[in-house]
Structure formats: C-alpha cells, structure tokens
Structure 1
Amino acid sequence: MTTTPAAKSAAATEKSAPKTKNQQVIDLLSRKGGATLEEMSTLASWQPHSTRSFMTGLKKKGHVIDSDKVDGMRRYRIISNGGV
C-alpha cells in the first residue's frame, strides 16, 4: 500500500498539532480528581465566567459534569461524555 504525500502530511499534522484550549480543559475535567475553576481558567487563560460558560456548552453537547466540594474547593469532573 502506498501513501500519497497529502496523506503523509495530514498524518504528521495530526500528531504534531498542539491541543486546543478546549481539549486541554476537557482533559483536566476527565482526570480522576477533576479540576477546580481556577485550574481550568488559568490553563486556558479564560475569565471564570467564560470557563463556566464553556462547561455549560459541554453539558449541552451531552457531557455529564459532576461537582464536589473537596477541602473547601469545588472540583468539577466529566463523569460521562454522553456518547460524544
């Protein structure tokens, strides 16, 4: 099987492309311990209200986001991606 130069460059771009801010925040939320609003806002360089809005958008896309208070800090985590 031969690969075309276009296919090779597309594969190389996928591997080397940096993660978007959205994907980085989703990765934080997917961790076992989840993430605080401050951690997400700092990582993405977003204001807290923008971070909350992003989480609302995730919920609308079918993600189930849970929150718990741990040591006085609210932590959010994705517990289901709703088939997304």
Structure 2
Amino acid sequence: MTVKYKADDFGLRKLAQSPEMGAATLEAAKLMAGNANAVGDSKYEAESTTVTAGWANEKRAGAVVRESEPHWRDWRDGVLLRVAAAMKVRRK
C-alpha cells in the first residue's frame, strides 16, 4: 500500500507565523540563555525575532540568544555551542 503525502503549505505557514510558535521559540531561547549565564562569564539574553525560513523564504516567528556583555573566556570555551549541544542531548 502506498501512502501519498502532500504538505499543507498554508497550514505550515500559519503555524510557523503564529504567536504560539513565537512564544515557544522565545521560551527555548530563554532557557538556553539562562543555561549559558549559569556556566559562562558573559551575560546572555533572549529576544523574539522574525526569521526567514522555508522553501519560499517566508518570514516566520523565532528567537535569538546573544551575548549582551561578552567575555573572552566564553568565546574561547564555546559556551553557547556547548549549551546547545547539552540541551540537544538532554532533549530540553
């Protein structure tokens, strides 16, 4: 039996642009910033933003984590990269 799948582009677009998706991505970014603040010397912050994604390069809800006060040790030690890798392994 062959199952045919056709993506619902309109539905995916609405989901990706929804306020709920913006809230979910911001929550994940805040968690990442908090974890980085706990282990690093820099100060990190999370902020909502619009990202370009999808096959049509659409504007979608997203979030970013950035260093608000950089410290050289965090760059050397790759704090954000380590935090992201740890979160991926723990699935959080």
* TM-score calculated relative to the size of structure 2: 0.27
* TM-score calculated relative to the size of structure 1: 0.28
Higher strand share: 2
